[in-house]
Amino acid sequence: MRSNKTFLVAELSANHNQSKELALKTIKAAKDSGADAIKLQTYTPDCMTLNCDLESFRIKGTLWEGKNLYNLYKEAMTPWEWHEELFAYAKGLGLICFSSPFSKEAVDFLESLGNPIYKVASFEITDLELIAYIASKHKPMILSKGIATKEEIQDAIDVCRSEGVEDITLLQCTSSYPAPLNEANLSLIPQMQKDFGVKVGLSDHTLGVNAAITARALGASVIEKHFILKRSLGGVDSAFSMEAQEFLSLSQAIREVEDLLGDTSYALSPKAKEGRAFMRSLFIVDKIKKGEIIQPSQIRSIRPGFGIAPKYKKEVIGKVATRDLYVGKPLEFGDFKS
């Protein structure tokens, strides 16, 4: 695996539509589409909100307009009794399966399943008590920025570090569903890395592949997209989820970006070393006999690059040839002496 390989996460979310068979098919499709991991969400409606129908518990300004919070989470939740089978199935396919917990009880449950990574959802980033409890399990943590302020992000990272967690990834995330391109603010990705000293990535709610590809070029090491077999299946998250074929195109493009970016090293690749043959170097262009003084007109900087570098030309002129030098010979250090 190359050092700059992106961790591609397919978010199952509610795209199982309460069918375990569909959940399993979606996990298999994620694997076939180039995902490295499948992510679940572990909660019950009571983890998230109250079973209350007051106006303040109704959603406004999103694609879930007018829905009651409790009923939405009841519709969207992944049943806890599925988790063990989903984890095992994903592992059997070679996928990493992990989850976002929304309560201490969810954390304990996920620990019983050997959950390897914890994701803190964007709207939970200010719940420092929950974050501390998650961090106490000493697993790698992914934090989604969402609508958090810089101070709130720092608080969350500080809590993780206070519990001994240093493997932290902060995801740029626009908490809008779907997210407009002009609100993606991807320039923040390298800035977050500079400001907080953590790995960075993108939790992408935009439509299409451009945001994720751009994020990778800007240094994102984790890309997360909601994943669905077909948007025509419907469901609470279907409108901003990426279909399997689209995710495959994205994964292929991301791998191409990785190849394009390469590594931050000046070391020459084997191809580059071969290409040095076409560089300029010093060649004999007029026959020189052993013992003669080398004149400027007798050597030139030309292609190919088999002779000594052109920067040595001044050092060669006026030196004594140590052997007969024929036209077309690449000049070597042993060909002359003071």
Give the global pTM: 0.85
Domains and CATH numbers, the chain: 7-261 (3.20.20.70), 270-337 (3.90.1210.10)
- What does the pLDDT look like over 226-285, one tens digit per residue? 999 999 898 888 888 999 999 999 999 999 999 999 888 888 888 888 898 999 999 999
Q: How far is CA 117 from the centre of its chain?
A: 15
Question: What is the C-alpha to C-alpha distance for residues 198 and 33, in angstroms, rounded to an integer?
Answer: 28
Strand partners, 42: 101
In this prediction, residue 77 carries a pLDDT of 94
CB 38 within 8 A of CB 255: no
8's enclosing H/E stretch is: strand 7-11
Torsion angle of the four alpha carbons 178, 183, 186, 191, in this order, in degrees rounded to the nearest 10:
-130
| 261 close to 46: Cβ distance less than 8 angstroms | no
Q: Are 322 and 337 in contact (CB under 8 A)?
A: yes
Contact 170, 143 (CB under 8 A): yes
Q: Are 5 and 220 in contact (CB under 8 A)?
A: no
1 band by pLDDT with thresholds 50, 70 and 90:
very low
- Per-residue pLDDT band for 64 (boundaries 50, 70, 90) equals low
141 versus 338: the higher-pLDDT residue is 141
Is residue 43 within 8 A of residue 106, CB to CB? The reply is yes
